[in-house]
Amino acid sequence: MIIVGVDGSVTSRAAVEWAANDAFRMRAPLRIVHAVDRDWYQIGKYPLPDVPDLLLREGRRILREAEALARERQPGVEVTTQNVEGMPAVVLREQAKEATELVVGSRGLGGFAGALLGSVSTHVAGHVHGPVVVVRGEQRPVHGEVVAGVDDSPECEPALAYAFEQAKLRGATLRVVHAWQLPVHAFAPEVIHDMDEVRTAQHQVVRDRVEVARKEYAQVTVVEDIISAHPVDALVTVSEHADLLVVGSHGHGALGSMLVGSVSRGVLHHAHCAVAVVRA
C-alpha cells in the first residue's frame, strides 16, 4: 500500500499525483491521509468549542478533493481516505508502518514561505523505516532518469534496490552517482595521494554495489558516475535532469533532523526533483 499525507497545500496536491502514479505502476492500493491537529486550538484558558468540528469538516473537504484528483489521474487505482486526529508527523509515522511507500509534500500550509522543506517532511524522512518520497510542487518535464546516490556503507543497499525498482517501473535510465573528496589531513600536509589509486578504488565501490543489484534488473540501463565533489553538490546538480533522486539515510543522532543524515538532509532541501529517502 502507498500512503500519501495531504493538507490542501500545493505540494500536497503534487504528492497525491505522484502517489497515484506510483500506485498505478506498482499495482498497489492508495490511502490518502489527513491529520486533524486540535492541539493549537485547545491551548489556553478558554478553548474554542466549535473548532474541532470545523477542523474535521475541513479535513473531509481536503480528502474529497485529494481523492477526486487521484481518481482523475489514475482511475484504475483503488483509493481510500482517512481523517485521523493527531499531530501530522506522528500520524504519518504510525500510518507508514502499513505502507510500502510514504509520500508527502515538501512543505505544507504551515511552512514559512522561504523554507524549502517543512518540519513534517523532515520528521518522517528521518524516522520512517522504508521509502519516504518528498515531492515538490513545481511542474517539471519528464526526463526518464532516476538517480541513486551510493557509497560503501550498508545503508545505501536498500536505497539502490529501490532505485532499480523505480527505474524498472518507469522504463527509465538509472544513473548511479558516487561522489567523493580527498580526505583533508590538516595536521599531515606531507601526505601525498595517488589519484589513480583513489579513483580506481572509488570506481570499484560503485561497480560492486551495482553488480549485485543489476542481476535482478537486467532490463534497466545503468549509467555510472564517479564525481569528485561534495555528495550534496554532486547529487543536487544531477537532480536537475532527473525525475527522482534516491538516497539512503545514514543519520544516527537523537534529534529528528539528525536521523536523516547530513547528505540526505542537504538534498532534501536543495534537489530540483522529488527525493526518496530509504532507511533500512
CATH number at residue 158: 3.40.50.620
Do 214 and 156 lie in one domain? The reply is yes
Is residue 131 a contact partner of residue 124, using CB atoms and an 8 Å limit? Answer: no
Assigned domain for 14 exists: yes
Assigned domain for 48 exists: yes
Assigned domain for 240 exists: yes
Do 220 and 266 lie in one domain? The reply is yes
Q: Could you tell me which residues are beta bridge partners of residue 228?
A: 180
How far apart, in whole angstroms, are the C-alpha atoms of residue 237 and residue 175? 13
Assigned domain for 39 exists: yes
* pLDDT the model gives residue 47: 52
Assigned domain for 140 exists: no
Count how many domains the chain has. Answer: 2
Q: Could you tell me which residues are beta bridge partners of residue 175?
A: 147, 223
Assigned domain for 188 exists: yes
Is residue 278 a contact partner of residue 159, using CB atoms and an 8 Å limit? Answer: yes
Range of the domain at 123: 2-135
Assigned domain for 194 exists: yes
Is residue 21 a contact partner of residue 75, using CB atoms and an 8 Å limit? Answer: no
Domain boundary among the residues 80, 102, 135 is at 135
Do 200 and 243 lie in one domain? The reply is yes
What number of other Cβ atoms are within 10 A of residue 1's Cβ?
16
* pLDDT the model gives residue 76: 95
* pLDDT the model gives residue 249: 78
* pLDDT the model gives residue 26: 96
How far apart, in whole angstroms, are the C-alpha atoms of residue 30 and residue 7? 16
Do 69 and 190 lie in one domain? The reply is no
Do 81 and 162 lie in one domain? The reply is no
Do 125 and 160 lie in one domain? The reply is no
Q: Could you tell me which residues are beta bridge partners of residue 131?
A: 278
Domain boundary among the residues 91, 116, 135 is at 135
Do 153 and 253 lie in one domain? The reply is yes
Q: What is the pLDDT along the chain (280 residues), one digit of tens a residue?
A: 999 999 998 899 999 999 999 999 999 999 999 988 766 555 444 455 555 678 888 889 999 999 999 999 999 999 999 999 888 888 888 888 888 999 998 875 443 333 344 566 666 766 677 899 999 888 889 999 999 998 877 778 899 999 999 999 999 999 999 887 665 554 455 555 566 676 677 677 778 878 888 888 989 999 988 888 888 999 999 999 999 999 987 644 333 333 446 787 888 888 999 999 998 7
Do 170 and 233 lie in one domain? The reply is yes
Reading the block at residue 199, the C-alpha cell is 579513483
* pLDDT the model gives residue 127: 66
Do 125 and 183 lie in one domain? The reply is no
* pLDDT the model gives residue 255: 35
Do 107 and 173 lie in one domain? The reply is no
Domain boundary among the residues 135, 169, 193 is at 135
Do 126 and 167 lie in one domain? The reply is no
Q: How would you list the strands of the sheet with 2-5, edge to edge?
A: 79-85, 30-36, 2-5, 101-105, 130-135, 274-279, 244-248, 145-149, 173-180, 222-228
* pLDDT the model gives residue 113: 34
Do 154 and 131 lie in one domain? The reply is no
* pLDDT the model gives residue 194: 63
